[in-house]
Amino acid sequence: MLFTNYQFYIDEFIRLGHELMQRAPDAQLPHAHDDCLAFVEPGNVITRRGGAAQAEGTPPPRLPQMPAYHLVRADGSGITMVNIGVGPANAKTMSDHLAVLRPHAWLMLGHCAGLRNSQALGDYVLAHGYVREDHVLDEELPLWVPIPPLAEVQVALEQAVAEVTGLSDAALKRVLRTGTVASTDNRNWELLPQSVGGGPERRFSQSRAIALDMESATLAANGFRFRVPYGTLLCVSDKPLHGEIKLPGMADKFYRQRVDQHLRIGLRAVELLRAQGPDRLHSRKLRSFAEVAFQ
């Protein structure tokens, strides 16, 4: 499963899904998607591969609040992408419901605020730790519980970035940074007064966070809670602490340049995880010493 917090990613996923149903993947599409048999949109609108030009089903009069789209494979191990919108409450609600389906993994692909001066708009952030200021899971999962990175997912995401961008070594490190991601429930955190000894900016600095969003920590914590392997790859879309805010013209250019690449990285990561097989993917980190193996 892929989660995103922007409709731009869904638009690109729809375009890719329809293209896959019409013809074989081109050089920019992962060849492993050749065996996708159908693309399913809200309202159970189904476009089948090599079938009739007209899709089956009737689109709903309006989209659901958090629409889901599915690339379907014969063995059931396809890819679902969901636009969870903005905010930790949405992230918790959707992952609560989807966890009961026992997905093999879920990945967050979205935008974030870069907190380091060395970052540039369009750089990627691979989360290896989380600051949980989202608060929606505080009662279900105490804050003293660490949310560890899962090696299999981390390696797949980094490899996917390298393959899709064509970069390696120092060039790859310039556009991909690994570090702590902070998630907050306050969209206007940077506007809050920085009181002596407190304030979110100080806490984020103490945590050594390199990026900030509103959903990633929630999805990772719920993955840990429900034993669903998780990962986060974000793209820097603004730098509020350094005067680079998301303006309309800048945002349009950014979206055109990065959304397609970011999505292809996520899809490639899913293929790499699938190739490993579920036995390797379902990490023992997600089970306590008193629990049986993942079923």
Q: Looking at mean pLDDT, say which of 30-39, 51-60, 177-186 comes out highest.
A: 177-186
User: Which residues of 54-123 form beta strands (DSSP E)?
Assistant: 68-73, 79-83, 106-114
Confidence of residue 27 (pLDDT cuts 50, 70, 90): very low
> Of 219 and 294, which is predicted with more confidence?
219
Question: Per-residue pLDDT for 28 more than 50?
Answer: no
d(CA 29, CA 267): 9
Mean pLDDT of 199-227: 89
Indicate if the alpha-carbon torsion angle 54, 55, 58, 59 is positive or negative: negative
Confidence of residue 26 (pLDDT cuts 50, 70, 90): very low
Taking the domains of the chain in order of start, what are their residue ranges? 2-286
pLDDT digits (tens, 9 = 90+) for 271-286: 999 998 877 877 677 8
Question: Per-residue pLDDT for 13 more than 50?
Answer: yes
| pLDDT score, position 32 | 52
**Are 95 and 218 spatial neighbours (Cβ–Cβ below 8 Å)?**
yes
As a whole number, the mean pLDDT across the chain is: 85
* The CATH number, out of the four listed (3.40.50.1580, 3.40.50.620, 3.40.630.10, 1.20.1740.10), of the domain defined by the range 2-286: 3.40.50.1580
pLDDT digits (tens, 9 = 90+) for 249-263: 555 666 667 899 999
**Are 73 and 55 spatial neighbours (Cβ–Cβ below 8 Å)?**
no
| pLDDT score, position 55 | 77
Mean pLDDT of 62-73: 91
pLDDT digits (tens, 9 = 90+) for 109-127: 999 988 888 888 889 999 9
Using only the alpha carbons of the chain, give its radius of gyration.
19
Q: Looking at mean pLDDT, say which of 25-29, 74-78, 130-134, 291-295 comes out highest.
A: 130-134
Encoded tokens for 99: 């966890």
Question: Per-residue pLDDT for 206 more than 60?
Answer: yes
| pLDDT score, position 25 | 43
Mean pLDDT of 14-41: 73
Question: Per-residue pLDDT for 52 more than 50?
Answer: yes
Q: Which residues contact 39 (CB under 8 A, 6 or more apart)?
A: 17, 18, 20, 21, 46, 47, 69, 70, 71, 72
| pLDDT score, position 120 | 87
